[in-house]
C-alpha cells in the first residue's frame, strides 16, 4: 500500500472506492482552502506526491479541476496550483419560505449562474411546483447540452413540518395542511429528472455559509438565520452537523420569556414575522420587507425597536447555546439588507457585554456573509457535497 487513505483497502474497500475517497479528499481540500499545488495537497492529505499527481490529472481530465497561474519560488520549477473548475459541476437549489420560493443554479465554486423567485402570501404546493417546473425549463433551455449534462442534482431547503407554521387565520392554516401529503423529493424529482436531497432550511443556510462564506474561518460555531421565522445550524469539527433526523441546530425552539413573563420560543420573539405584525398594526404592507430592500431604512421607526428586541433575544440564545458546546463563534445572517445585518450584530455584541456569563466562555459574535439566498445556495450545495466532497 502507498500511504494515508490507501491503506484502508485492507479494511475491505475496493480500489475504486479508495480512489473515489481520495478524489473527494483533494476536492474538499481545494474547496476549503482555495487553489493549491500538488505538493501542498500531498502534505495536507498525507498522500504520496505520485498518488496526488495521478488524481489531479484525472480530475483535470474530467473537467473538475483547472490549472491556476504558475507560482515561482526562489529555486526550482514554478508550482502550478489546482483549483475547482467553475463549469465542472452545476446544481439546482430550491428554498421554500414563508413569503417566497427561490430557485438557483450554482456552479462548482458556489457562484449563482441563474436565479428565479416567486413571492406569495401563502406557499401552496401546486403554485410552488408550477413555478419550479417553469423555472427549470427556462434555465435548462438557456444552457448548452454540455452544461445540462453536468447538473449533478437538485437540493430542496424547507422547514420540517411545513403544515405546522403558525398563522393568524383559519384559511391559511387550512392551506398549510395541504403540505401534509406532499413528498417533496418525489415531486421535485418528477419535475427535474435529477436526484433530490432534502434539508431543513436553516441547516441549508448554515451549509452555504460553511462552504462559501465566513464559516471557513471557524472550526466549531453556531449559526442563526433570521427569515420570516428564525432557525439555526451547528458546525462541529469543520462539518455541518445535521443530526440523525436532520434537525440538529433547531435554535428557533430555544426557550425564552415573553413580554408578560409567559414561556415562549425564540422563533416567537426574534423573527421577521414579529416585524410584519408591527407593520400590520399600523396598516402598513409587510410585503415590502421582502420586495424592497430600501424599505428597511424608510421604516426605521418600526425596524429599530424590532432590532433591539431581536438583538437582546439573540444574545441570550447565544449564551444558552454555548452552555452546551463551547462554540468559538456565533454567526448571524438573515433575509435582510447587509446594513441591517451589521447593525444587528453590533447590538448583539453590546447586549452580550451585559449578560451573566458565569461558567461560560463568551463566543465571538460575527456576521454571516451569504444573505437572503443562503437557504437556496445551501440547498444547491448539498448534491455537490454528497457526490464530490467528503
Residue 132 confidence (pLDDT) = 98
Residue 71 confidence (pLDDT) = 81
Average pLDDT over residues 76-88: 90
C-alpha cell at 255: 426557550
pLDDT at 17 over 70: no
18 pLDDT band, cuts 50/70/90, is low
173 pLDDT band, cuts 50/70/90, is low
Rg of the Cα atoms in the chain? 23
Largest CA distance in the chain: 75
Average pLDDT over residues 267-282: 96
Q: Which of 84, 189, 87, 97 is nearest to 136 (CA)?
A: 189
Query: How much is the pTM?
Result: 0.90
Average pLDDT over residues 325-332: 97
pLDDT at 168 over 70: no
- With beta carbons less than 8 A apart as the criterion, state whether 148 and 180 touch: no
Residue 136 confidence (pLDDT) = 98
315 pLDDT band, cuts 50/70/90, is very high
* CATH topology identical between 87-204+376-388 and 214-369: yes
pLDDT at 330 over 60: yes
Report domain extents, the chain: 4-84, 87-204+376-388, 214-369
Q: Which fold has domain 214-369?
A: Nucleotidyltransferase; domain 5 (3.30.420)
CATH classification number, 4-84, choose in 3.20.20.70, 3.30.565.10, 1.10.10.10, 3.10.350.10: 1.10.10.10
pLDDT at 308 over 80: yes
Q: Where are the beta strands (DSSP E) in 21-74?
A: 65-67
67 pLDDT band, cuts 50/70/90, is very high
Residue 10 confidence (pLDDT) = 33
Q: Which fold has domain 87-204+376-388?
A: Nucleotidyltransferase; domain 5 (3.30.420)
- With beta carbons less than 8 A apart as the criterion, state whether 209 and 197 touch: no
Amino acid at each position: 500500500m502507498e500511504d494515508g487513505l490507501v491503506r484502508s483497502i485492507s479494511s475491505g474497500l475496493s480500489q475504486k472506492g479508495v480512489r473515489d475517497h481520495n478524489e473527494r479528499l483533494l476536492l474538499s481540500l481545494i474547496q476549503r482552502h482555495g487553489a493549491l499545488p500538488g505538493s501542498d495537497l500531498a502534505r495536507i492529505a498525507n498522500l504520496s506526491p505520485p498518488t496526488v499527481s495521478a488524481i489531479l490529472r484525472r480530475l483535470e481530465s474530467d473537467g473538475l479541476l483547472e490549472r491556476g497561474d504558475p507560482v515561482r519560488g526562489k529555486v526550482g520549477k514554478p508550482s502550478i496550483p489546482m483549483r475547482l473548475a467553475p463549469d465542472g459541476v452545476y446544481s439546482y437549489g430550491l428554498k421554500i419560505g414563508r413569503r417566497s420560493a427561490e430557485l438557483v443554479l450554482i456552479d462548482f465554486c458556489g457562484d449563482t449562474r441563474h436565479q428565479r423567485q416567486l413571492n406569495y402570501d401563502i406557499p401552496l404546493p401546486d403554485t410552488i411546483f408550477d413555478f419550479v417546473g417553469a423555472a427549470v425549463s427556462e434555465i435548462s433551455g438557456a444552457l448548452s447540452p454540455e452544461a445540462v449534462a453536468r447538473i449533478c442534482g437538485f437540493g430542496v431547503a424547507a422547514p420540517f413540518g411545513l403544515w405546522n407554521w403558525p398563522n393568524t387565520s383559519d384559511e391559511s392554516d387550512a392551506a398549510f395542511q395541504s403540505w401534509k401529503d406532499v413528498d417533496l423529493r418525489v415531486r421535485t424529482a418528477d419535475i427535474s429528472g435529477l436526484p433530490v436531497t432534502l434539508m431543513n432550511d436553516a441547516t441549508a443556510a448554515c451549509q452555504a455559509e460553511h462552504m462559501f462564506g465566513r464559516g471557513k474561518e471557524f472550526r466549531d460555531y453556531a449559526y442563526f438565520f433570521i427569515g420570516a421565522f428564525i432557525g439555526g445550524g451547528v458546525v462541529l469539527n469543520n462539518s455541518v452537523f445535521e443530526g440523525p433526523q436532520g434537525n440538529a441546530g433547531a435554535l428557533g425552539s430555544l426557550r425564552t420569556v415573553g413580554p408578560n413573563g409567559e414561556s415562549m420560543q425564540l422563533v416567537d420573539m426574534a423573527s421577521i414575522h414579529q416585524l410584519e405584525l408591527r407593520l400590520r398594526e399600523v396598516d402598513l404592507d409587510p410585503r415590502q420587507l421582502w420586495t424592497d430592500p430600501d424599505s428597511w431604512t424608510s421604516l426605521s421607526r418600526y425596524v429599530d425597536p424590532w432590532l433591539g428586541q431581536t438583538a437582546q433575544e439573540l444574545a441570550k440564545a447565544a449564551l444558552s447555546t454555548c452552555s452546551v458546546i463551547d462554540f468559538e463563534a456565533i454567526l448571524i445572517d438573515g433575509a435582510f439588507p447587509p446594513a441591517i445585518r451589521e447593525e444587528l450584530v453590533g447590538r448583539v455584541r453590546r447586549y452580550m457585554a451585559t449578560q451573566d456569563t458565569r461558567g461560560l466562555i463568551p463566543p465571538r459574535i460575527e456576521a454571516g456573509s451569504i444573505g437572503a439566498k443562503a437557504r437556496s445556495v445551501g440547498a444547491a450545495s448539498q448534491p455537490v457535497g454528497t457526490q464530490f466532497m467528503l
